[in-house]
Structure 1
């Protein structure tokens, strides 16, 4: 059943039979992620994990797009606000300066949260429509499955800022290394069909069939033993990490912060002078 959650809340939660449906709810900003959304999403995931009747989790976005990335300039941007840290043990970023502040925040809210969500012991399906850009990729890539509508597209354009990719650097594992370079070096949008050909997306369906296809897949998984699913998920995740995924992310996270520091030293700010409007114009 659906909860009576105000539309102003950044995350909505409801349950349909054995499926927990979690919705990103900042449609006026294309579901751009601020910290409030990240922590509300973590609360929703935790709720679904703790509810034995929720066998499968579905993540979607409301409005025209799944998620257009990190919040880099809306009125609700909260990069300098404290939250109850839970992904890592580190000091608060508030009141710190330079790399100290940015590294602490992004270790928690971005890399740390996505790693935490990747380990959820239940199947998680990303239902992607419209834009899945930069930080949106991190959300979708943390899920076990991606089912996309035929109007969906994927991109990580942050090399335009002089940054080597988003914080959760899964690119070489979500696609092949040569394609990951194309994805990053050009900043081009990959269609849902292209993403499916690369193995990044499980299924592509017409937009009007997206919800039905996702729930049909979820219902099939819900029939499997919960502990068996948890073990199978851990087995695949461990195999990815043995292939270098976790260590690779750690190494690139350092390069990511080198880029931020370089931008701040030689330019206007750590984002190379870009905001959401400037990125869209490119």
Structure 2
């Protein structure tokens, strides 16, 4: 298998974008994030592509952001694509965290949500924290029966992941329970709540995703683009865009609080250079709890 962090393949009218760090449960380092951005941009500009499928290689869709693998690269500069905020790598403290997360977390998710072609997430196994953000920016989610979803970061004193879409993809009381407990939500429950569009056995996941993508691809391309924009605009009128900004500020207040009140940064903090977590994702304890 290729060592590229993201694989790209077009089959007919469908582009398949696959996260390719299965050893680390597709934990997302910056190299993967920018490779995803390049793949989505490639699909957007290809007139033959009408639908995009986002998948994860191996047993899990994504265990979240990479804070502990040997290829963790949060300290490195990358050519910014999501905004004009300055580079984080030569800054310190809250200035560095805010600059980086504005770009690679919130900024990239907003950028990908606006891709003018339908995106279908094909989810198996763990879809946790940063993985949840990726699934939520997709238009549709097809999940295997063994998939589960979780956002355990409240355990670190942080009010949810950076792309805080929880009250828009879930009823508010369910969103609170999801965050307050940090428990994983089985795919069956997510389907009941409308967060997942199709629920299938694991061995049928690829085929079911393909069939749905090809069915959508039968529709006029411009009509699909306008329809996607119409629904996204309706969500924004319901407060999604401003809500994301508001909670992003609370998220960074929590980071600052953790930095000031702990002698050593807690596991999972962006200030902690290496947790040695073989799962990638968030902090060791929270991730292992979520993966159980």
TM-score by length of 2: 0.93
Runs of 4+ in 1 over 2 A off after TM superposition: 270-282
| Structure 1: tracts of 5 or more residues without a match | 1-5
Shift of 1:10: 0.3
Deviations 1:11-57 (A, max 9, x none): 00011111100000001100000000000000000101111111100
1:71 aligned partner: 66
Equivalent in 169, 176, 180 of residue 185 of structure 1: 180
Contact 2:15/2:49 (CA < 8 Å) preserved in 1?
yes
Deviations 1:103-154 (A, max 9, x none): 0000000000000000000000000000000000110001000000000000
SS in 1 for 2:48: coil
- Number of residue equivalences: 277
1:144 aligned partner: 139
Shift of 1:277: 2.5
Between the aligned partners of 2:69 and 2:286, the Cα distance in structure 1 is 14
SS in 2 for 1:219: helix
2:280 aligned partner: none
1:47 aligned partner: 42
Between the aligned partners of 2:184 and 2:286, the Cα distance in structure 1 is 13
| Structure 2: tracts of 5 or more residues without a match | 278-282
Q: 1:15 to 1:281 in 2, by over 3 A?
A: closer
SS in 2 for 1:255: helix
Q: Looking at both structures, which has the greater relative contact order when contacts are Cα pairs under 8 Å and sequence separation is at least 6?
A: 2
1:37 maps to 2:32: yes
RMSD: 1.2
TM-score by length of 1: 0.96
Shift of 1:269: 1.5
Q: 1:149 to 1:281 in 2, by over 3 A?
A: closer
Q: How does 1:185-224 map to 2 (within 5 A)?
A: 185-224=180-219
Shift of 1:186: 0.1
Shift of 1:180: 0.3
1:279 maps to 2:286: yes
Shift of 1:72: 1.0
1:233 maps to 2:240: no
1:269 aligned partner: 265
1:3 aligned partner: none
1:10 aligned partner: 5
Q: How does 1:71-220 map to 2 (within 5 A)?
A: 71-220=66-215
